[in-house]
Amino acid sequence: MWPEPSHQNSELRKEMGQTVIEKIIQNHSEEEVKPDSIVWMGLDIRSARDFGGPNVVKNYEREFGDTPLADKRKTFFTFDLCVPACSLKYADNQQVCREFAKKMGVKVFDVDRGIGSHVLIEEGLAQAGLTVVGTDSHLNILGAVGCFGQGMGDVDITFAFRTGKTWFEVPETLKVVIKGGYDFPVSAKDLTLHILKELGTHKAALKAVEFYGEAVQNLSLSGRITLCSMVTEMAGIIGFVPDFGDSLRNEVERLSGSKFSPLRADEDSVYSEVLEIDISGISPQVAAPYSPDNVQDVSELKGVKIDTGFIGSCTNGRTEDLALAAQILKGRKIKEGVTLKVVPATKRVYEEILEKGILEDLFRSGAIISSPGCSGCADGHIGLTGRGEVQVSTGNRNFAGKQGKGETYLASPAVVAASCLAGQIVSPEDI
């Protein structure tokens, strides 16, 4: 069934430089890897969540019965959407996955662990150069650590569980060079929203993106996660930040307990396009309803009354994000009538904010601090909005109806914190 490897251009292949995504796929395929070619690709890690996971189990049992998985040690469940289950239907679905996992000898990162993509990084499972798939469209967050993560549907994941392979159309690579820098109160989220505004859902569509420039090179892991997560909203396949300093290496190695040595693009690799984006002088950015690329300067939206704030999600749920919010909230009180929901990305983040006193600062300001998980992007877990409710969120999507029936504005942790103090959208500088 697997197509015969085509060697006719293999010499040419060696002569031509390859981008990061081309190198990773090449290392996992017997076939010639070049943009637009469709190849069979080996998968190092395959995972499923509490959404999609039960469908995978159902597919698997229907199609493959009790036949063992390709490799149980490379297969995981990560529960992160409705955690712990808030209704019987999700409780049932999670139990379906647990029982399948037990039968197959697969590890489950259960409802206490937090967002699967982040857990995979923390556990050292998603490492630079590896291929990882799961039922999470933001799994391309793993690009932050040089890993090719890709969200897929339950048919794909079922097939991956059984075979350890998938077919993939090699994307072209877009090179984006960021010019200029930024200072507080501008953060990685504002940089990301500004890039999204520039690229829209057009320019990076179906492409891998490599981000270069001092501002992205200096991002911490948390900042790289923020940037890479929203490549999904740019309609891209995955984003990489190939340049980095020692502090990032130390951070990733300390967190994951494994060596960090990501692949770099060859000097002569071919890009579909090279774009420059100048971020000099940008102010905090806010995406207004109902599209993540509907991005404006915070000043243009100043005064929009809010009912709710949300700080968390796979985009902005790490310790550094919560610390930024706490820095603004410390010693102050959230405006009466406004609620602020804080959801750490993982149990490990929870532990860090506890140890560093960040949790206390958030709590004393009036915030609700929930157990770790995806929260508002999923049905049921903390954070849906009702009709007419206005929310300012650090999440990544504000499509109509995505996070309930209200209106969602996307912003940085600093803008959300400041806005919750003011009861309206403001810049942190206004506090």
Partner 1 sequence: MTESVFFGRIWILQDIKGRLIADIDTDQIYHNAFLHITDISQMGQYALGNLEDWKDFPQKVRPGDILVAGRNFGAGSSRQQAVDCFVSLKVGLILAPSFGAIYFRNAVNSGFPVLRCPQLDELVAKKILETGDEVRVNGQSGEGLNTSKEFPFQVEPMSPVQYDIHKAGSLFHYGKKAVG
Q: Is 63 in the site for partner 1 (CB under 8 A)?
A: yes
DSSP code, position 85: -
Nearest approach in angstroms of CB 344 to partner 1 is 21
Q: Is 379 in the site for partner 1 (CB under 8 A)?
A: yes
Nearest approach in angstroms of CB 136 to partner 1 is 6
Give the range of 148-156, 241-249, 296-304, 327-335 binding partner 1 by CB under 8 A. Answer: 148-156
345: closest CA among 314, 320, 384? 314
* Separate counts of helices (H) and strands (E) for the chain: 16, 18
349: closest CA among 326, 329, 366? 326
Nearest approach in angstroms of CB 54 to partner 1 is 5
Q: Is 156 in the site for partner 1 (CB under 8 A)?
A: yes
Nearest approach in angstroms of CB 409 to partner 1 is 17
Nearest approach in angstroms of CB 242 to partner 1 is 22
Buried b (16+ CB within 10 A) or exposed e, 150-183: bbbebebbbbbbbbbbbebebbbbbbbebeeebe
Q: Is 68 in the site for partner 1 (CB under 8 A)?
A: no
Which residues, numbered 307-366, are part of the site for partner 1 (CB under 8 A)? Answer: none
Q: Is 152 in the site for partner 1 (CB under 8 A)?
A: yes
Q: Tell me, what amino acid is at 123?
A: E
Q: Is 148 in the site for partner 1 (CB under 8 A)?
A: no
* Pick 158 or 427: Cβ nearer partner 1: 158
Give the range of 86-94, 189-197, 302-310, 358-366 binding partner 1 by CB under 8 A. Answer: 86-94
Residues 6+ away with beta carbon under 8 Å from 195:
176, 178, 211, 227, 230, 234, 277
* Pick 184 or 399: Cβ nearer partner 1: 399
Q: Which of 74, 162, 175, 341 binds partner 1 (CB under 8 A)?
A: 162
314: closest CA among 134, 67, 141, 180? 141
Query: DSSP letters of 386-428?
Result: PTT-EEEESSS---TTTTBSSEEEE--HHHHHHHHHHTB---G
CA distances from 341 to 44, 110, 141, 230, 309 (A): 35, 22, 23, 21, 6
Count the alpha carbons within 13 Å of 204 in the hemisphere toward its beta carbon.
28
What is the C-alpha to C-alpha distance for residues 44 and 228, in angstroms, rounded to an integer? 20
Which residues, numbered 389-418, are part of the site for partner 1 (CB under 8 A)? Answer: 397, 399-402
Q: Is 67 in the site for partner 1 (CB under 8 A)?
A: yes
What is the C-alpha to C-alpha distance for residues 44 and 76, in angstroms, rounded to an integer? 11
Q: Is 135 in the site for partner 1 (CB under 8 A)?
A: yes
* Pick 63 or 355: Cβ nearer partner 1: 63
Nearest approach in angstroms of CB 353 to partner 1 is 27
Q: Is 385 in the site for partner 1 (CB under 8 A)?
A: no
Nearest approach in angstroms of CB 3 to partner 1 is 8
Here the tokens at position 306 are 């809010």
What is the C-alpha to C-alpha distance for residues 47 and 128, in angstroms, rounded to an integer? 17
Q: Which of 16, 86, 205, 431 binds partner 1 (CB under 8 A)?
A: 205
Nearest approach in angstroms of CB 416 to partner 1 is 22
Q: Strand, coil or helix: what is 154?
A: helix
Q: For residue 218, how many other CB atoms are within 10 A of its CB?
A: 16
Q: Label residue 366 exposed, middle or buried (CB < 10 Å: 0-12, 13-18, 19+).
A: middle
What is the C-alpha to C-alpha distance for residues 1 and 63, in angstroms, rounded to an integer? 17
Q: Which of 163, 283, 327, 339 binds partner 1 (CB under 8 A)?
A: 163
Q: Is 206 in the site for partner 1 (CB under 8 A)?
A: yes
Q: Is 54 in the site for partner 1 (CB under 8 A)?
A: yes
Cis peptide bond prior to 84, omega within 30° of 0: yes
Q: Which of 16, 181, 201, 242 binds partner 1 (CB under 8 A)?
A: 201
Q: Is 47 in the site for partner 1 (CB under 8 A)?
A: no
Q: Which of 167, 274, 354, 429 binds partner 1 (CB under 8 A)?
A: 167
Which residues, numbered 286-305, are part of the site for partner 1 (CB under 8 A)? Answer: 291
Helix, strand and coil percent figures for the chain, each rounded to 5: 35, 20, 45
* Pick 217 or 291: Cβ nearer partner 1: 291
Here the tokens at position 301 are 């939206």
Q: Is 377 in the site for partner 1 (CB under 8 A)?
A: yes
**Interaction site with partner 1 (CB under 8 A):** 1-2, 38, 51-52, 54-55, 58-59, 63-64, 67, 87, 89-90, 92-93, 135-137, 139, 150-156, 158-159, 162-163, 167, 169, 201, 205-206, 232, 235, 237, 291, 377-379, 397, 399-402
